[in-house]
Amino acid sequence: MKRVALPRLVALFALLLLLGAPQSTLAAGQETLREWMKKSADRQAYGLYINGRKAGWMTTETKLSMWAPDPKARKRREVALESMEGFFRVRVAGVPAEQTTFSFRNLSVFALEGNGPVLWSQERMKETGRERVHTLRREGIHYILQTDGTRKRVAMPRTTLEHTRQMARWLASNPKAGQVFYSYSLSLDDSPIDSHVATQYVSRRRLVWGGVPITSHRVRMTMDGATIETDVKSDGTPLTGRMGGLIELRAEEEKLAKNLDAQGVDLLAASSIRIERHLGDARRLQSLKLEVSGLDDFRLPTSPRQQVQRTAKGTQLLLKADAAELSLPRALSPAERSKYVSATTGVQSDNATIRRLSKQIVGARKSTLDRVQSLQNWVYRNLRKSMSSNASSALDVLQNRAGDCTEHTLLFVALCRASKIPAREVGGLMYVDGTVPLFGWHAWAEIYDGTRWVSVDPTWDEVWVDAAHIKFSEGANDMAWINVMGRLKLAVLDFAVKP
């Protein structure tokens, strides 16, 4: 079952948190970036809650500092620093809390000249004891991203200090309800490294915070489809943030923020959706009819195998076991094909070890489906099923030879792309027939066979998935499904199994 993508959620929260500093009263033409940053210097801590129980903390800080690209250099320049640090501790399907931890430390350096471009940035992420470091450097007119010893040239980041200041001024200008500010968030783990963000002003209200009456502004931020609603003080400091019906962020004193729940929060138990009927072995499900509530404005992907019907009573979902006759033929554009065969920082399909392994597994097989079958079968048989062997790259998965659906899908997609087979991660819900019947968040894949997209689940050893798979997203960067977490409810209306 898929782990909730906490590292991705952090990027959304961080964008607004780093804007949380008192706003300058100087007019735009009179204020330099240095003057603005000096007045905006701030440090704030936050507690992260899952279903009301504290599972982690974050701190953010903005300040002026002296800096040089080489720590040993004598000559330094004054710059703006934005830093963020956090720690999360959760249980996953009963795994002890100390085995499932995630920590991060991000630092970005901005020039104080011009529009305040990024000079250097680093993201350090450690998940269950394994650390990954992404470093972005400006070398002359080029930007170089280094990860796991590899270097590649990337486009100049669109995130600048000036853009951050413009958004801060927009928040302080009391915009009208419905007005939107467009910006970018820098994430070195993504490709491209800039994500587009839309911030919509919702409303303002009076409330009591820390015993003091204040004016609060509510904004709605959307990135990669995921939305966070945040309450912000008039000086720009975020107070609370909520994502879906499950995850909440609260501004707190640092000592309090770092005081976590001693027992740990079971992430999968908190995010899974219980149902009233047992359906048996998921792989035998031929068809399934569900009543769905809590979707709000989320639109489920539709296809001949996954159909949505609106009725007077609500939304009904009709699912079938996938098959070639249910998959609509379509052509890939050159841009789509390039996207789905390209390597990323996590899907290292251009790595010599992964390319060599993919070639070895595929052997002399000619048919795309035959090659895909061999790759998914290898992943299924050679990865130990584990909820605590977390990894954020295909090479890490290959080294661990273990993981849950996230790791199985990550390695499978990389092996397919290494053989020039277009592949992408998809995600959604999957039925699990345990003591308590439920649907849990799950990841699987789709490959393009030259004519159509074919569903493949390397965790469950399936080419053409069963009717227990409910698709919510396409691609690792499609995060809109997070908006319904904690709100979604399912009721079984009917089902049929294979004879």
Stronger pLDDT, 29 or 321, i.e. the higher one: 321
Rounded Cα distance, 472 and 441, in Å: 10
Q: What is the CA radius of gyration of the chain?
A: 24
User: What b/e sequence results for 116-153 when a residue is b if at least 16 CB atoms lie within 10 Å of its CB, and e otherwise?
Assistant: bbbbbbbbebebbeeebebbbbbeeeebebebeeeeee
Amino acid 87 reads F
pLDDT at site 20? 43
305-310 LR contacts (CB < 8 Å, sep 24+): 305/467, 306/470, 306/471
488 has pLDDT over 90: yes
**Tokens 């996230």 found at:** 406
Domain-by-domain residue ranges, the chain? 6-268, 272-497
Q: Residue 355: what pLDDT? A: 97
Q: What per-residue confidence (pLDDT) applies to 190?
A: 73
Nearest CA to 320 among 300, 299, 302?
A: 302
Question: Is the model's pLDDT at 1 over the cut of 70?
Answer: no
Tens digit of each residue's pLDDT (9 = 90 or more) over 12-57:
555 545 544 444 444 445 789 999 889 888 888 999 998 888 989 9
Q: Strand pairing of 462-463 and 212-223?
A: unpaired
Spatial CA neighbour of 159 closest among 201, 217, 202, 120? 120
CA distance 444 to 460: 9
Note the pTM of the prediction, 2 decimals.
Answer: 0.90
CA distance 464 to 320: 11
Read off the pLDDT band of 391 (50, 70, 90).
confident
Fold (CATH) for 272-497: C8orf32 fold (3.10.620)
| Pairing mode of beta strands 384-385, 402-403 | parallel
Confidence category of residue 478, pLDDT binned at 50, 70, 90: confident
- pLDDT tens for 63-120 read 999 999 887 778 899 999 999 999 988 876 666 655 677 888 999 999 999 999 999 9
Cα separation, 198 vs 223, in Å, equals 7
Percent of the chain exceeding pLDDT 90 equals 54
Average confidence (pLDDT) over 484-491 = 93
